[in-house]
Every structure is written in structure tokens, then in C-alpha cells.
Structure 1
Amino acid sequence: MTNTQVFRLGGDLAVRRIGYGAMRLANAPHERSGMTAPIWTAPTDRAESIALLRKAVDLGVNLFDTADAYALGANEELLAEALQPHRDDVVIATKVGVLRPSPAEWIPHGHPGYLRQQAELSLRRLRTDRLDLLYLHRVDPAYPLADQIGALGQLQEEGKVRHIGLSEVSVEEIEEAARIAPIASVQNVYNLAERGHDPVIDHTAERGIAFVPYFPVSGGEQEALSEVAAELGATPSQTALAWLLHRAPNVLPIPGTSSPAHLAENAGALELALTEAQFKRLAE
């Protein structure tokens, strides 16, 4: 591994810069695609999902992303079972702060007591006494951000949370939160087609904060992407991930898949290197 392949999350957790987003490991395989996938029940192909997660570890992936809202905690339980043999070698990030009253609803809820309760449940489901990285899943405008971050900070002071993260936030929200507790990671949607968070990447890069783009591979096909992929002898998806890695040294994409072939393809993107000219062509 080269230094460019590793990032020290929170300054102390060395993670490879291609992680794994586990959100889609839910329901039946045919229900997992699209923006409206329910993410509501445990996967029907549990044995295959566990094997996939363990294959990810074999491929060198050591950053795994989940949330209490994914399949109402069943996603956390799946990761705990699959990764238990490797627990000391992997970093598991989870999130609190979203209610799931039905398969179609994702509702921010930032009551400080609720956030602390959900963290306690995540500790149980992940079979650990300290969460490696705990995100505020969404900022809830009904409560002061200081109170929401304060709840996570209290958990950190109690030794139940190692590092704190934020999801779908602006530079201003990051600055406000950082006045309450140290922020180790920010997770926003970002890919070649969706680049609205460029200021957030720049802000976090300057401060050594991880930027974790979810949905890192956009659905649309671009002519330049296909051309650069051909030049590299890579797939368009690998090239899109390599573009993210080139964007800034703190960028840690977390592509998700239930395909072993795609998993290996995603992990292989870490070995690709774009020239500055190729990077700029894709960014146009």
C-alpha cells in the first residue's frame, strides 16, 4: 500500500481509501436498486451477503459504512456477524438521527436523548463497547445543532464513540459543529455528475477531515469517462472512483454492491492513477 491509498480517519484510524457502503444489503436482491429501494428488512440472501462482506476484507477493504436506519438495525447486525472474525482490523461507521416509520419514510429526528438511545442500540447490534465512527445521519432543524452534536460529544466523553461525523452538511454546519466537538468525517452525496459539495471537500481537506462521498458512481454514462477508462484499461466505474480519489487526499468513496465481481472491481480502483490531464477532462 502507498501513502496515497490510506487515510488516517480522525488522525488515528488507518483506512484504505476505497470503503464499502452496506446500505443495499437488505430485502431481496431484486429490491435493492434505485433511489426508492426500501432498505427495510434483513437480506433474504444472508449467507451470500456475509460471504460478500468477508470477501471485501480479503480484498483489503477495512472501512464499512452502515446506519441504524438501514433495515431498522438489521444491517448493523449483519455487519457484526460478518466482520466479527476481523473486528480488530476493520473500522465500522454507523449513523443515528433518522426515523423509519415505514419503508418509504426517512425522517430526521435529532432529539438529544433519542440520539444517545440509538447509539446504545447500535453498540449492542454491532457487538462492541465503542463505535469507531458515529455520524449524525441528518441535521434536524427542530433542535439546535449544538444539542445534537452535544449528544454525540457526550457519548464520546463516555468512551462509547471514538470519532464523530456529519452527513449532508454545509461548510457552515461543519464549522458550527466543530465548535462543540471534533469532527472526523463528513459524508455527502458526491460523484462526477453531482458536484455541489466541492466547497465541503476543500474545507475538509484543509482540516484533515475525511470526506466520504456516498453514491460515488453516478448512473449516467459520459463519453469522456468511457474514453479515459479505455486509456487506463479500466471500467468506467473504476475510473469514476479513481477520479474521486484524485480529487483530494481525504476523499474515501464507499461504493456498495451485492456482486462479488463488482466488489473486486471497486477495490481495484485504488490501484488506478489518473494524469492531471485525464482528471481535468472528466471534470469538464
Structure 2
Amino acid sequence: MTPDITPNPETTPTGTPRPAGAGLLAGHTVSRIGYGAMQLERLHGDRGTALAILRRAIELGIDHIDTAQFYGDGFVNGLIREAVHPHDGVLVASKIGADPNPGGPVPMRPAQRPQELRASVEDNLTSLGLDRIPLVNLRRMDAAPRIPLEADQVVDLDDQLAEMTALRDEGKIGAIGLSSVTLEGLRRAIPAGIACVQNAYSLVARGDEDMLRLCATEQIAWVPYFPLGSAFPGLPKVTDEPAVIAVARTLSRTPSQIGLAWLLHHAPNILLIPGTASAGHLEENVAAGAITLDETTLATLDAIPTRSGDITLG
């Protein structure tokens, strides 16, 4: 795909400054701070507030939104369809490899077979009201957090990529991303053309540093989830780190903002999609893009040990 050309890459197509400047995602110039929509499913009973958060994100210069059909069993996609308009110039990225599992111990179940991947793309197209999804991430189960797999859900990556490539050739998706993938898996997938990787990664969980470097070399966007550490009890969180708290106090910022700012400083191909169901937190996340961390501060934060751990759901 040919990258889009804008008169000023530091602003969105509507002229709003891009938070943290511009990055490249699936051949499109986007803000380095996007929005992860998963937490909007918490607002199932308050649709108006959920729609207002999406509109506020666009007003703040966010022009890429990350979603999935299994977020709220299509509820979140429906919000995006209603709130985001073509003239907003927003890139919508979705995720497949799992299906909704309402009422289950985990809100999603694996859907890894090629025919399930195709069906999920079709479901996303319908719920988002799109003819083509600009970017679709394949959610593998190779890296944490894992979901136990039945035998029929153990599918070779090459078979999945063949289906994803066919969907791209048919024009149903624009670009292919990978989520929860290993370094070996990424190396195998690169010849298929990979636009981004979404793995759990943060200041306190830097186990994928070699993969991040490979992505930078191959001009693949690194779009971390859990950017402030694990959401699961007992695992490390960026906001609990004394060094992060001290830097936040010195700069009159929140620890969350420092954690996000560190990611933006750490590598130029990192794009953020922090999620929230709060307009106030959304604005704080966007403001993190304006934080400057000097070399001494970066060295202090870099010295925080990484403590990545495996997680199995269900």
C-alpha cells in the first residue's frame, strides 16, 4: 500500500495536531498516540458516554482506533460505526483469532482456524459498516496472556497467514498485523508482509526487546498492549515503581503518563493505543505525548528491571 500524503504530517487530515507527532501504521501516517477501544465495553449501559469518548479522542487528534468484534460481542464495533465518520480520517484496526464468549470465565474463546478467521473478518466488516478494514491483527495464542486451546484450535501460523493474505488480496483487509506472537513466529511471517505487532510490553515487561528491534529494522509498527504493565493481580505495574513515581512527582505528571512517555521515547516505531472508559484519563493519555524525558531521566527509568511473566486465562 502506498503511504498517504498529507500537507503536514504533524496534523491529522482535519488539521488537528497529532499527539506525540506522526508515525506510520499500515502505510498510513497516524498519530503516535491512538486509542484502544476495549474498555468501552464497560459502558454498555451508557452508550452516550461511550460515544462522547470516541468523539473526544478524535477532537484530541487521535486518528487510529484499535478494536475487535469480541469486545463486548460487537458492542464496541457498533459504537465506532456510529461515532467515527469517513471525513474524520481515522484508521480503524481490528483483531481476529478469537470470538465472543458471553458469560464464560474469559470473555473470548479461541477462533484460530482459517475459516473462523474469515468469518471474523466478515463479522467485523458488518459491525463496523466498512467495505475494507485498513488493518487486521491476527491474535495468536503463542505468547502471554494465553488461552487454553482445544486440539482443533492448534493451527499452524502458515495456514493462518495464507488465509489472511487471501483476504488482503480480495480487498477485505488492507494490511496484516500479528498479536501475541513469538520472535520465531514473526520471522516466519515477515515474507507475508506484516504491518504491526501487538504484544504485551511496557517499562516493567521488556522481554520482547529483540522483537522490537527486528520490527524497527523491518519498518513494522510496534503497538504494545498492557503499556503500563499487567492488568492481572500480582504482576508488575509501571505505576507501582518508585522510580516512576519519583519522576512523575518531579515533572508534575502522573505515573501513568511517565510510563507512556517512556515508551514513546524508547523507540520511534512504537505507537500507543492506551484504553480507557474515562474522558479525563483519555486527555491525560494524550498529554503524555508532550512530555520530554532527558537523558538522565531515561537512564533512571531504563534501569528498572524487567519482570515479564507468563499468564494463562481460563
Q: TM-score, normalised by structure 2?
A: 0.80
Contact 1:228 1:278 in 2 (8 A): yes
Find the aligned partners of 2:185 and 2:73 in 1 and give their Cα distance. 27
Aligned to 1:187: 198
Matched AA of 1:240:
G
Return the offset for 1:99. Answer: 3.0
Contact 1:26 1:44 in 2 (8 A): no
2:224 is paired with a residue whose SS is: coil
Q: Deviations over 1:61-94 (max 9, x none)?
A: 111111121111221111111113x555101110
Aligned to 1:45: 46
Matched AA of 1:69:
F
2:65 is paired with a residue whose SS is: strand
Which residue of 263, 274, 278 corresponds with 1:244? 263
Contact 2:69 2:100 in 1 (8 A): no
Distance 1:88 1:161, change over 3 A: farther
Q: How does 1:122-161 map to 2 (within 5 A)?
A: 122-139=124-141, 142-161=154-173
Q: How does 1:95-244 map to 2 (within 5 A)?
A: 95-101=95-101, 102-105=103-106, 106-139=108-141, 142-179=154-191, 181-218=192-229, 219=237, 220-244=239-263
Residue range with higher mean Cα deviation, 203-212 or 222-231: 222-231
Which residue of 24, 34, 43 corresponds with 1:8? 24
Aligned to 1:268: 287
2:84 is paired with a residue whose SS is: helix
Find the aligned partners of 1:276 and 1:164 in 2 and give their Cα distance. 35
Q: How many pairs align?
A: 267
Aligned to 2:33: 18
Distance 1:121 1:87, change over 3 A: farther
Return the offset for 1:114. Answer: 1.2
Find the aligned partners of 2:99 and 2:59 in 1 and give their Cα distance. 34
Matched AA of 2:22:
V
Find the aligned partners of 1:5 and 1:200 in 2 and give their Cα distance. 23
Find the aligned partners of 2:109 and 2:280 in 1 and give their Cα distance. 34
Contact 2:58 2:88 in 1 (8 A): no
Residue range with higher mean Cα deviation, 189-198 or 237-246: 189-198
Find the aligned partners of 2:217 and 2:261 in 1 and give their Cα distance. 21
Q: Which structure's residues are more often helix, by fraction?
A: 1
Contact 1:18 1:253 in 2 (8 A): yes
Find the aligned partners of 1:145 and 1:215 in 2 and give their Cα distance. 24
Find the aligned partners of 2:212 and 2:97 in 1 and give their Cα distance. 23
Matched AA of 2:68:
A
Find the aligned partners of 1:211 and 1:138 in 2 and give their Cα distance. 16
Find the aligned partners of 2:104 and 2:52 in 1 and give their Cα distance. 26
Contact 2:42 2:277 in 1 (8 A): no
Find the aligned partners of 2:226 and 2:87 in 1 and give their Cα distance. 25
Matched AA of 1:274:
L
Q: CA RMSD in A?
A: 1.8
Find the aligned partners of 2:206 and 2:213 in 1 and give their Cα distance. 12
Return the offset for 1:238. Answer: 1.0
Contact 2:138 2:179 in 1 (8 A): yes
Structure 2, unaligned runs of 5 or more: 1-9, 12-17, 143-152, 230-236, 304-314
Structure 1, unaligned runs of 5 or more: 29-42
